[in-house]
Amino acid sequence: MRLLLVEDDAMIGESVRTGLQQDGFAVDWVQDGRAAELALETNPYDMLLLDLGLPRKGGLEVLASLRRRGDSIPVLILTARDAVADRVKGLDAGADDYLVKPFDLEELAARVRALLRRRSGRADPVVQVGNLIINPATHEVSLDGKSIALSAREFAVIHALAARPGVVRSEEHTSELQSP
Ligand code: CA
């Protein structure tokens, strides 16, 4: 999964990028609205993490023009603006979710996974080989029930190998349907 992070605050940008990379995501990081648009035009991304207060072009403008073009990429807004009016504007402009700074990196990673899951729905099959379970929607790999930390590259390799026809059986992802 490849994410585009748009954040002009160097400290926040660096910590978000590092945190998400440790969770196995490939993260490109740009620091203004125009650089974001250029990156979106030239690369395929699975999700956009978007600050609102940005140099050169504001996050809301970036989001609005993205949706005008019909791009349905999931967008998670990261902002210090916690006024209700700003949240409403962001959601009206086509954001999928909203996180107010300062936020916890664990919560951010969980919301990213939730948005990716929601987007891929249940059509994206979990791949199981013996006791190894690979979930392409959440980018999670577990062996004997224990989760394994992999880089994005390692994940891509193991997923490609495991998904070879005749080697695996696919199961519908049902864990979300199980209530306690
Ligand atoms: Ca900012």
Between CA 57 and CA 74 the distance in angstroms is 19
| pTM exceeding 0.95 | no
Please provide the DSSP assignment of 87-127 as one string: HHHHHHTT-SEEEESS--HHHHHHHHHHHHHHHHGGGSPEE
> How many whole angstroms from 167 Cα to the centroid of ligand 1?
47
CB atoms within 10 A of CB 17: 18
Using a CB cutoff of 5 Å, list residues around ligand 1, an ion.
8, 51, 53
H helices then E strands: how many in the chain?
6, 10
* pLDDT at position 170 over 60: no
Between CA 47 and CA 87 the distance in angstroms is 19
Mean pLDDT of 68-97: 86
> How many whole angstroms from 70 Cα to the centroid of ligand 1?
25
Q: What is the pLDDT of residues 8-57, one digit of tens each?
A: 999 999 999 999 999 999 999 999 999 999 999 999 999 999 999 999 99
> How many whole angstroms from 109 Cα to the centroid of ligand 1?
20
> How many whole angstroms from 79 Cα to the centroid of ligand 1?
7
> How many whole angstroms from 43 Cα to the centroid of ligand 1?
23
Tokens of 116: 């990716």
What is the residue-averaged pLDDT of the chain? 84
> How many whole angstroms from 25 Cα to the centroid of ligand 1?
22
> How many whole angstroms from 42 Cα to the centroid of ligand 1?
23
> How many whole angstroms from 6 Cα to the centroid of ligand 1?
9
- Picking from 112, 61, 52, the residue whose alpha carbon sits closest to that of residue 83 is 52
* pLDDT at position 117 over 60: yes
Between CA 21 and CA 2 the distance in angstroms is 10
